[in-house]
Amino acid sequence: MIGMEGKTLRSERLAYRLLAESDKPALRAILSDRAVTEPAGFLPAETDEAFDKFFAHLTQYNTALGIYLGDTLIGYIHVNRYRGGGEYAEKSCVDTGFVIGKAYQNCGYATETLRTLTAYLKQRFNFCFADCFLTNEPSRRVIERCGYRYVEDYTMHFRALGREETCHSYVY
């Protein structure tokens, strides 16, 4: 869907490629911290089997890119088809979500990643969306810094968290 098979995308400090089986241990370590996963709408996997299932779901459509600083996996960005209504109903749209490991937060990597991937995706799709929880100020700042404009707030139930959250939705 996003055309990254066999490709590596690069920005000033980072590289991006489809997540591979060899990335599982590093990704499992990044996603073992609730403070990292909860703002993204899920909790750390409790078992290896649960993580394997999560990883298989994440990578099944070749839309999850690892974010690499040198040879080190520092997070991932995931792209999903967006099926919106109104002016977006007949357009080709995607939605992105990103997770950066705790040790690499507040270094500008999320901004660099979202800018780079947005530029790539805009060559293939009419619109890119990015959403974040109302309470997730760091992600909101990244999304706005990358030129996304606010569309609306919506509330939905996040089964993995066991609660409803209100989210900001942005479009580029």
- pLDDT the model gives residue 63: 97
Whole-angstrom CA distances from 18 to 32, 76, 105, 170 are 21, 9, 21, 24
The structure's pTM equals 0.96
- pLDDT the model gives residue 85: 85
Q: Which helix (H) or strand (E) holds 139?
A: helix 137-145
DSSP-assigned letter for residue 21:
G
Give me the tens of pLDDT residue by residue for the chain, a chain 172 residues long.
Answer: 899 999 999 999 999 999 999 999 999 999 999 999 999 999 999 999 999 999 999 999 999 999 999 999 999 999 999 988 889 999 999 999 999 999 999 999 999 999 999 999 999 999 999 999 999 999 999 999 999 999 999 999 999 999 999 999 999 9
Considering only CA atoms, give the Rg of the chain. 15
- pLDDT the model gives residue 3: 96
- pLDDT the model gives residue 148: 98
* In contact, 75 and 113? CB cutoff 8 Å: yes
Look up tokens 């293939």; give the residue.
124
DSSP of 47-77: SHHHHHHHHHHHHTTS-EEEEEETTEEEEEE
Using CA atoms, how far apart are residues 132 and 143, in angstroms rounded to an integer?
9
Using CA atoms, how far apart are residues 63 and 77, in angstroms rounded to an integer?
8
- pLDDT the model gives residue 92: 96
Using CA atoms, how far apart are residues 149 and 120, in angstroms rounded to an integer?
18
Alpha helices in 1-133 (DSSP H): 24-30, 34-37, 48-59, 109-122
* In contact, 161 and 38? CB cutoff 8 Å: yes
